[in-house]
């Protein structure tokens, strides 16, 4: 099992959290909320956005045809889009067929408990109009979220 | 409840069981709505303070009455109030007087709740409580066990006293702040933000004691402080919230 | 590049009846609970302190309860969506079912009735036969005229619905605490908000 990276996007198309692991052998390697990941985040967002629109159009009259995974030659992207407009995305190797349960846990047990229930944390990370539509920069920085993401995903890195 | 077991069950145990069944049969709500309601009381108190200080510094009467007319017709739009965490941040920059007013408001809310809560607990036929001839220590035990369990689903972890009327109620996992974390590291700011969250229980303690006969003005003084968790079990990075000591001083009236 | 999509459209919750079974199960088996009376008393203490703070200017109390609710609603919705994994509703009729049969059940263990649909189907009422916020509450004369005691609910609904892109007005029409026959809360959908797209992409 190998997870490469984890991303959270908010309703304003902003990446509010990113975690990338660079060494398979080291759970604490890589970067968290890195400036260097800005462009990758935008590309990832664009890819999911496009495929999501297409899959919804293909569904025709049938409602809700949410995209769940996208596979390329090298990796697989696992996607959870909530009705509130949050996107949770994991990039893994091709062996991982379905990580939807992992994404559900990241949302329900980690995000909800350490961000939504944490009154010291913002729930909307864009503080003005200028920070909406993918132009924001604020990240989830509270230690409970960071710590629980590491504890939960760390063992899946290698 | 198996009849085979009853011979071994004392009268007290039987009452306990009955009490427990009674508690379980009471109407319930999702505890999450209760925690969220409690969490929002502090931003609420800050917002109220903002509004009151705003209206005391002149406001054109005409626009106010027009606004009110609209408001009473349709209670719409969240009246551009700030999000909870922004209101909380105002507490950090508020002067001492404003902070004190905010805390007082919360403490008063707790006092009202404490009075009602003790009625609720008295009428619930709890076999653990006898309200006849309660001495101060018994009263404090009642707060630690029954009041806390009712409000926070757990008991106070440790009760200490100096035997001169001061009690220290230690809660190592004070539920309302369980999910709180501001940044990567625990900071002084975060401690300051926790302080107003300790006012409601302080008020509750005063309210409960008042309805149990400690009624004189200023007889019960209660404040709370953030303390080190017991035997630092390497909890600095695990994200455990700090421990709280609720300090209750009861002056004798004779 | 291959893409696999969700072919099973929201198992077991699409009909009204299955939504009820689904919600009852969450309430019964997956929800930590507290005594409703503690919740009622806590809310009561908050309202009565507010009435004192605003010197019984109830219009201000109503507003404050509403904005308090809004701030809760924008957070509560995430808890709700994580618990239920429900997708966005495709009609307002469906929204009315999810609110009453699921959300009210899961959080407050009551199920309001839906009714009074407007002719163009853009608004409806919730009738609360039971209301855990105001159980055993009686209002003094002056408050009974102007105070919408449970106005926090309007704010919660407003905030929660806005987070799923529904811009609604929510307000109380009647309340048994004021001597009305029913407790009726009205929800009017103004518009469905568009999801944002990155700047420069439109």
Task: Tell me the C-alpha to C-alpha distance, in Å, between residue B37 and each of A122, A125, B205, C40, C41.
Answer: 17, 22, 19, 11, 12
pLDDT tens digits along B50-65: 999 887 665 555 455 5
Please state, rounded to an integer, the average pLDDT across all residues of chain A: 91
Q: Which CATH architecture has domain B14-49+88-230+240-250?
A: 2-Layer Sandwich (3.30)
Q: Given an 8 Å threshold on Cβ–Cβ distance, is C158 in contact with B78? A: yes
C59, containing H or E segment: helix C58-84
- From A114, A122, A123, residue closest to B181, measured CB to CB: A114
Instruction: Give the chain C residue whose CA is nearest to the CA of B25.
Output: C35
Q: Is the pLDDT of residue C10 over 70?
A: no
Interface residue of A10, A108, A115, A120 to substitute, partner B, most B CBs within 10 Å:
A120
Chains that touch C (3 or more CB pairs under 8 A): A, B
Q: What is the predicted pLDDT for the residue at B1?
A: 47
Rounded to the nearest 5 degrees, what angle is found at the Cα of C106, between the Cα atoms of C101 and C109? 80
Rounded to the nearest 5 degrees, what angle is found at the Cα of C158, between the Cα atoms of B198 and A13? 90
Q: What is the predicted pLDDT for the residue at B164?
A: 86
Residues of chain C positioned with their CB less than 8 A from the CB of A45: 198
How far apart are the CA of C165 and the nearest CA of chain B, in angstroms? Answer: 15
Q: Coil, strand or helix: which one is A4?
A: strand
Number of domains chain A contains: 1
Q: Is the pLDDT of residue C6 over 70?
A: no
Q: What is the predicted pLDDT for the residue at C8?
A: 38
Instruction: Give the chain B residue whose CA is nearest to the CA of C42.
Output: B113
Q: What is the predicted pLDDT for the residue at C55?
A: 93
Q: What is the predicted pLDDT for the residue at A1?
A: 65
- From B180, B183, B184, residue closest to A119, measured CB to CB: B180
Sequence spans of domains, chain B:
14-49+88-230+240-250
Mean pLDDT (whole number) for A124-141: 92
Residues of chain A positioned with their CB less than 8 A from the CB of C94: none
Determine contact: A111 vs chain B, CB below 8 A: no
Is the reported ipTM for this assembly greater than 0.85? yes
Determine contact: C155 vs chain B, CB below 8 A: yes
Q: Given an 8 Å threshold on Cβ–Cβ distance, is C74 in contact with B110? A: no
Chains that touch A (3 or more CB pairs under 8 A): B, C
Q: What percent of chain C has pLDDT over 70?
A: 93
pLDDT tens digits along C145-196: 899 999 999 999 999 999 999 999 999 999 999 999 999 999 999 999 999 9
Sheet of C123-127, strands arranged across: C113-115, C123-127, C184-192, C166-174
pLDDT tens digits along A60-111: 766 677 889 999 888 999 999 999 999 999 999 998 888 999 999 999 999 9
Distance between first and last Cα of chain B: 49
**Superfamily (CATH) of domain C13-27+34-135+147-193:** Trafficking protein particle complex subunit 3 (3.30.1380.20)
Cβ count near B158 (within 10 Å): 14
| Residue A127 structural domain | 3-156
The pTM score is 0.91
Cβ neighbours of residue B211 under 8 Å, at least 6 residues apart?
B114, B115, B118, B119
Higher pLDDT, C77 or A67: C77
Sequence spans of domains, chain C:
13-27+34-135+147-193
Higher pLDDT, A32 or B56: A32
- List chain B pLDDT tens, one digit each, 254 residues: 455 555 677 888 888 888 888 888 899 999 999 999 999 999 999 999 999 988 766 555 545 555 555 554 454 454 568 999 999 999 999 999 999 999 999 999 999 999 999 888 877 767 666 666 678 888 899 999 999 999 999 999 999 999 888 999 999 999 999 999 998 887 889 999 999 999 999 999 999 999 888 887 778 999 999 998 876 554 444 556 789 999 999 987 65
Contact call for residues A98 and A24 (beta carbons, < 8 A): no
Nearest to A8 by CA among A108, A107, A84: A107
Interface residue of B31, B33, B70 to substitute, partner C, most C CBs within 10 Å:
B33
Q: How far apart are CA A105 and CA B178, in angstroms?
A: 19
Strand A76-81 relative to strand A87-92, pairing:
antiparallel
Q: Coil, strand or helix: which one is A75?
A: coil
- Backbone torsions φ then ψ of B30, nearest 5 degrees: -60, 130
A87, containing H or E segment: strand A87-92
Q: How far apart are CA A121 and CA B180, in angstroms?
A: 8
Q: Band of the pLDDT at C1, cuts 50, 70, 90?
A: very low
Retrieve residue A59's tokens: 């569904």
Contact call for residues C112 and C100 (beta carbons, < 8 A): yes
- From A122, A123, A144, residue closest to B181, measured CB to CB: A144
Determine contact: A138 vs chain B, CB below 8 A: no
Nearest to C68 by CA among B39, B100, A11: B39
Residues of chain B positioned with their CB less than 8 A from the CB of A121: 85, 181-182
Sheet of B158-161, strands arranged across: B158-161, B166-171, B243-250, B220-227
How far apart are the CA of B6 and the nearest CA of chain C, in angstroms? Answer: 29
Judging by beta carbons within 10 Å of its beta carbon (0-12, 13-18, 19+), is residue A67 exposed, middle or buried?
buried
Retrieve residue C10's tokens: 């929201």
pLDDT tens digits along C85-107: 999 998 999 999 999 999 999 99
Interface residue of C39, C76, C102 to substitute, partner B, most B CBs within 10 Å:
C39
Nearest to C42 by CA among B170, B201, B180: B201
Q: What is the predicted pLDDT for the residue at B183?
A: 86
- From C38, C59, C109, residue closest to B151, measured CB to CB: C38
Q: How far apart are CA B237 and CA C4, in angstroms?
A: 40
Q: What is the predicted pLDDT for the residue at B70?
A: 52
């Amino acid at each position: 099992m190998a997870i490469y990276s984890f991303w959270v996007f908010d309703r304003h198309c902003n990446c509010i959290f990113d975690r990338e692991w660079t060494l398979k052998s080291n759970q604490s390697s890589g970067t968290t909320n890195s400036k260097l990941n800005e462009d990758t985040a935008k590309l990832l967002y664009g890819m999911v956005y496009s495929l999501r629109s297409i899959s919804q159009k293909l569904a025709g009259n049938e409602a809700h045809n949410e995209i769940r995974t996208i596979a390329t030659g090298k990796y697989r992207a696992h996607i959870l889009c909530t009705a509130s407009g949050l996107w949770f995305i994991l990039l893994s190797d091709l062996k991982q067929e379905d990580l939807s349960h992992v994404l559900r846990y990241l949302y329900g047990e980690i995000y909800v408990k350490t961000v939504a229930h944490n009154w010291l944390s913002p729930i909307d990370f864009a503080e003005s109009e200028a920070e909406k539509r993918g132009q924001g920069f604020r990240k989830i920085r509270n230690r409970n979220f960071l710590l629980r993401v590491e504890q939960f995903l760390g063992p899946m890195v290698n | 409840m198996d009849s085979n077991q009853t011979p071994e069950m004392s009268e007290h145990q039987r009452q306990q069981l009955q009490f427990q069944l009674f508690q379980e049969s009471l109407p319930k709500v999702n505890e999450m709505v209760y925690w969220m309601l409690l969490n929002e009381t502090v931003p609420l108190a800050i917002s109220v303070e903002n509004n009151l200080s705003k209206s005391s510094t002149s406001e054109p009467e005409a626009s106010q009455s027009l606004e009110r007319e609209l408001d009473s017709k349709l209670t719409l739009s969240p009246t551009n109030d700030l999000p909870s965490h922004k209101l909380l941040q105002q507490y950090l920059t508020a002067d001492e007087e404003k902070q004190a007013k905010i805390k007082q408001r919360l403490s008063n809310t707790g006092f009202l709740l404490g009075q009602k809560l003790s009625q609720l607990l008295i009428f619930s036929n709890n076999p653990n409580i006898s309200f006849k001839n309660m001495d101060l220590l018994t009263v404090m035990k009642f707060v630690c066990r029954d009041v806390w369990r009712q409000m926070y689903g757990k008991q106070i972890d440790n009760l200490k006293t100096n035997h001169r009327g001061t009690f220290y109620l230690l809660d190592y996992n004070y539920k309302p702040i369980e999910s709180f974390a501001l940044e990567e590291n625990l900071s002084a700011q975060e401690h300051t933000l926790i302080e107003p969250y300790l006012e409601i229980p302080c008020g509750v303690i005063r309210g409960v004691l008042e309805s149990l006969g400690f009624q004189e003005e200023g007889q019960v003084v209660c404040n709370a402080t953030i303390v080190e968790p017991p035997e630092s079990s390497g909890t600095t990075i695990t994200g455990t919230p700090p421990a709280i000591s609720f300090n209750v001083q009861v002056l004798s009236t004779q | 590049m291959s893409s696999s999509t969700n072919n099973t459209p929201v198992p077991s919750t699409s009909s009204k009846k299955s939504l009820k079974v689904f919600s009852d199960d969450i309430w019964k088996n997956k929800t930590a609970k507290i005594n409703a009376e503690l919740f009622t008393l806590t809310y009561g203490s908050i309202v009565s302190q507010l009435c004192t703070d605003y010197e019984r200017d109830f219009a201000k109390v109503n507003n404050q309860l509403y904005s308090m609710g809004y701030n809760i609603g924008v957070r509560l919705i995430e808890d709700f969506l994580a618990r239920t994994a429900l997708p966005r509703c495709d009609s307002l009729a469906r929204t009315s079912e999810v609110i009453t049969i699921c959300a009210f059940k899961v959080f407050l263990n009551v199920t309001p009735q839906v009714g009074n649909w407007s002719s163009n189907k853009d608004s409806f009422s919730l009738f609360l036969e039971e209301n855990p916020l105001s159980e055993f509450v009686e209002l003094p004369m002056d408050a009974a005229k102007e105070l919408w005691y449970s106005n926090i609910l309007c704010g919660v609904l407003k905030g929660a619905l806005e987070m799923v892109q529904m811009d609604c007005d929510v307000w109380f029409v009647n309340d048994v605490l004021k001597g009305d026959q029913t407790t009726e809360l009205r929800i009017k959908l103004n518009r469905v908000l568009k999801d944002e797209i990155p700047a420069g992409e439109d």
